[in-house]
Amino acid sequence: MVENRNTTETEADVCLIVEGAYPFVAGGVSSWMHDLIQAQSHLTFHLLVLSADDSPKTSRFTLPSNVTGMTEIALQQASDRVPIVSGRQDIAKDIEEPMTRLFERGGLTDFRQLLDVLEKHGPNVSRSSLLNTEAVFAMVERMYEHSTPGSSFINYFWSWRALAGGLFSVLLAKLPRARIYHAISTGYAGIAMARAVLTTGRPGLLTEHGIYTNERRVEIAMADWLSDQMPSSLDIEGRRRDLRDVWIDAFTGYARTCYEACSRITTLYTGNQVLQSRDGAPAEKLQIIPNGVNYDGFSKVPRDPSPRRPTVALIGRVVPIKDVKTFIRAAALLRDMVPDVRVLLLGPTDEDPEYFHECRQMVAHLGLENTFEFSGRVRLQDYLGNVDVIALTSISEAQPLVLLEAGAASVPSVAMDVGSCREILHGRTDEAPALGPGGFVTPLSNPLATAKGLADLLLDENLRKQYGESIRARTEKYYNKRVVDGLYRDLYHDHLEMPERASLAVEGV
């Protein structure tokens, strides 16, 4: 564990728990956390940062003055790489049953039993005693036989050490004192929050932007190093469990533990709640709190009244996940429908030079040199007054702020059906009163549908104004940062007022 800034025992109002992000990584969730802390300036925060390893790191942010301390926990540590040694048998014997259940989609009961074992053994517990003894090695052999017999034991062994090593780091580290523990994902951050709830009796909150367990499922499915699956043609008993199941089931167990321990589960849009419910999140704990944008600032962007070409823009980085090539193909089709159209790509071009080169070649191949412009990194407010419609062709998004920033300026959008795009443009099912569409939602990687939606809005001024007013009103009511900040202010206030749940910390759940 590495402690930075103020290492005193001063109790913070909120302990924010994050894995692999703020303050060492810029953008996305990190920027959201920075804004959250600044918006709640009446509260004090302690950062509990879970890092992949114990290497030195550089902060990418100047921490706000109401951050009173920061604690870093390294999930994997250099000291783990030591030979197996003799050790006490009873620790391994006591942790085997709850760990086996937790790693097979267990939950808070199994996690609490594991905590009880570590508390029982007290000063005899160390990372070495939990990872490197002969008794633990024998336990891992039994867990392997129970879980994935027939797969590679060596691969199982190292998978187990990776999963358990991160778990033990969280369970053995000193936790900062706080009145609320707020995790920004499940996974190890969620486990840290669950531990804090059980051991302190204070409430826990969870905010998920993307769904951690689902993201791990995608990564694990694509992992080349997890290649133990037995060919189905050779498996007469049907598909057997393999190492992918081990990883997915463990992260599902971590998520269920987190969901059961916390008092409230917030996320950006209803589509995420389907995934949370599938992994065991209780429906009564679920709440939508979207990200907010500076409505006051963007709504004041003036429209350029001078004569100009009809203009569409994609706002984003030139990287594959934004599917810029679909946008370029759509631009070629749109030019046939709106011959004098101007197409802009507003965003950095230097993150994936090879992809940018391919996109430029495509623009040249389609003869779009007089239509399509790569503008590079820009200040969005300087361009929005000259843009008529926004396009978004990403193959993956959570809640794209560009649709809302443009929406605050009354600019409608055409977006792929990813993340919360449908909710942003068409409204949630509980929207009252219904504000009407603020753009078109299209299938993924469909340049024709994108081009048609853009053309419909460019060629029909009344429709464009109607959709622009709808998205402006929706942004003001539901996605205004002042409104969203108030929702978190209320959430924190309600939980700060809660008495300690002593029975949870002492007697279990």
Q: Tens digit of pLDDT for each residue in 363-397? A: 999 999 999 999 999 999 999 999 999 999 999 88
Asked whether residue 3 carries a pLDDT value surpassing 50, the answer given is no
User: Could you tell me if 85 and 212 lie in one domain?
Assistant: yes
Asked whether residue 322 carries a pLDDT value surpassing 60, the answer given is yes
User: Could you tell me if 464 and 500 lie in one domain?
Assistant: no
* CATH code of the domain containing 381: 3.40.50.2000
User: Could you tell me if 459 and 496 lie in one domain?
Assistant: no
Sign of CA dihedral 342, 320, 52, 418: positive
**pLDDT, tens only, 388-422:** 999 999 998 889 999 999 999 999 999 999 999 99
Strand order in the sheet with 2-4: 2-4, 67-74, 45-51, 12-19, 178-183, 204-208, 264-267, 286-288
User: Could you tell me if 134 and 268 lie in one domain?
Assistant: yes
- Lookup result for tokens 């108030």: 486
Confidence of residue 223 (pLDDT cuts 50, 70, 90): confident
pLDDT for 497: 87
Q: Which domain holds residue 175?
A: 80-292+490-506
**pLDDT, tens only, 237-275:** 555 678 899 999 999 999 999 999 999 999 999 999 999
Asked whether residue 25 carries a pLDDT value surpassing 90, the answer given is no
pLDDT for 7: 45
pLDDT for 124: 79
Top-confidence residue, 61 or 82: 61
* Strand extents, DSSP E, 194-340: 204-208, 264-267, 286-288, 311-315
User: Could you tell me if 253 and 368 lie in one domain?
Assistant: no
pLDDT for 85: 53
- The reply to whether 179 falls in a domain is yes
User: Could you tell me if 303 and 270 lie in one domain?
Assistant: no
Confidence of residue 80 (pLDDT cuts 50, 70, 90): low
- The reply to whether 200 falls in a domain is yes
User: Could you tell me if 230 and 314 lie in one domain?
Assistant: no
Asked whether residue 496 carries a pLDDT value surpassing 90, the answer given is yes
Supply φ then ψ for residue 413, to 5 degrees: -135, 160
- The reply to whether 56 falls in a domain is no
C-alpha distance from residue 339 to each of 319, 321, 409 (Å): 27, 28, 26
Neighbours of 493 (CB within 10 A): 12
**pLDDT, tens only, 164-186:** 999 999 999 999 999 999 999 99
User: Could you tell me if 301 and 283 lie in one domain?
Assistant: no
- The reply to whether 85 falls in a domain is yes
Mean pLDDT over each residue of the chain, to the nearest integer: 91
pLDDT for 77: 79
395, 218 Cβ separation under 8 angstroms: no
* Residues comprising the chain, all counted: 509
User: Could you tell me if 325 and 336 lie in one domain?
Assistant: yes
Confidence of residue 78 (pLDDT cuts 50, 70, 90): low
420, 398 Cβ separation under 8 angstroms: yes
Asked whether residue 2 carries a pLDDT value surpassing 70, the answer given is no
In the numeric block, which tokens belong to residue 411? 């600019």
Confidence of residue 225 (pLDDT cuts 50, 70, 90): low
Asked whether residue 505 carries a pLDDT value surpassing 70, the answer given is no
pLDDT for 412: 98
Asked whether residue 509 carries a pLDDT value surpassing 60, the answer given is no
Confidence of residue 123 (pLDDT cuts 50, 70, 90): confident
Give CA–CA dist 197/82, Å, rounded: 33
**pLDDT mean over 427-439:** 95
Give CA–CA dist 183/109, Å, rounded: 19
User: Could you tell me if 202 and 305 lie in one domain?
Assistant: no
- The reply to whether 484 falls in a domain is no
Give CA–CA dist 472/409, Å, rounded: 7
Percent of the chain clearing pLDDT 70 (strictly above): 91
Element (H, E) at 4: strand 2-4
Number of structural domains (the chain) is 2
- The reply to whether 174 falls in a domain is yes
Give CA–CA dist 185/209, Å, rounded: 8
Residue 156: partners with Cβ closer than 8 Å, 6 or more residues away: 140, 144, 147, 148, 243, 246
pLDDT for 116: 95
- The reply to whether 352 falls in a domain is yes
Percent of the chain clearing pLDDT 90 (strictly above): 78
- The reply to whether 358 falls in a domain is yes
